[in-house]
Homo-oligomer: A and B are copies of this chain.
Amino acid sequence: MDNTLAMVEGEGRQRILAAAEKLFSDKAFDAVSMNAIACEAGISKANIYHYFPNKDTLYLAVLRVASHNLRAVLNEAVSAHGSVLDVLRHFARNHLQALLNRPQLVRLVWREILERGAPRAQEFAEQGFADMFSALVDVLKLGQSRGEFRQDFDPALVATLLLGANVFFFQSRDILRHYPPITFADDPAGYVAGIVEILLRGLVPAPS
């Protein structure tokens, strides 16, 4: 019976996890030392080993919670209502906004996806993908069954296209920014709106 201060069950653990998440999201696994993590967490290095048996386990734990949180954030951003078209628009906008709101989590998980030879936690990433995909594919299928979308495209392909556009925007935002003809680098909402509009209406003028 004391939650007086700093003793609320696993407080030390979470301090370590938070510090590790912060550092691992900026630099790669080998570029982050246990010393740096301990320093960031304000504890001693040896103390980390009281909670985690080794560096890999700690990293795995960080990745697990990060993936879980990111998944929650993204799933939360999905829910919408109204016409299929509105749902699609909301989905795209909220998805990108969620990515931009939690850059640490996104970078952490995405780096793991890109690293080779070490499928340490591909399962996590796949779970996140699965959720996004199925939700988006469902929306598209609904649109098709309602006749609001044409029937002759693969919903999974369009889902890939849309999610990819958002992820790409997130990843290369800094580069896009100092590139003259691009005006939407700092206007994610405008970017998404433009993309969705193009997706819906296409590049080719409608036959009159």
A residues engaging B (CB < 8 A)?
25-31, 107, 110-111, 113-117, 122, 125-126, 129-130, 133-134, 137, 140, 143, 147-150, 153-158, 160-161, 163-165, 167-169, 171-172, 174-176, 178-179, 181-184, 191, 194-195, 197-207
Contact = CB atoms under 8 A, between A and B. Distances in A.
8 contacts: A27-B30, A111-B114, A129-B176, A133-B179, A156-B182, A156-B184, A160-B182, A164-B164
A35 to B, nearest CB: 14
Counted per complex, copies of this chain come to: 2
Contacts of A137: 181
A153 B194 contact: yes
A194 B157 contact: yes
Contacts of A200: 202-204
A12 to B, nearest CB: 27
Contact of A29 (B31, B182, B191, B207): B31
Given A110-B114, A153-B203, 17 more contacts: A27-B115, A30-B30, A113-B175, A122-B174, A126-B178, A133-B182, A148-B204, A149-B204, A155-B181, A156-B181, A157-B184, A160-B176, A200-B204, A201-B202, A201-B204, A202-B203, A202-B204
Nearest first, the 7 A-B pairs at minimum CB distance are A202-B202, A164-B168, A28-B28, A30-B30, A30-B31, A26-B116, A201-B202
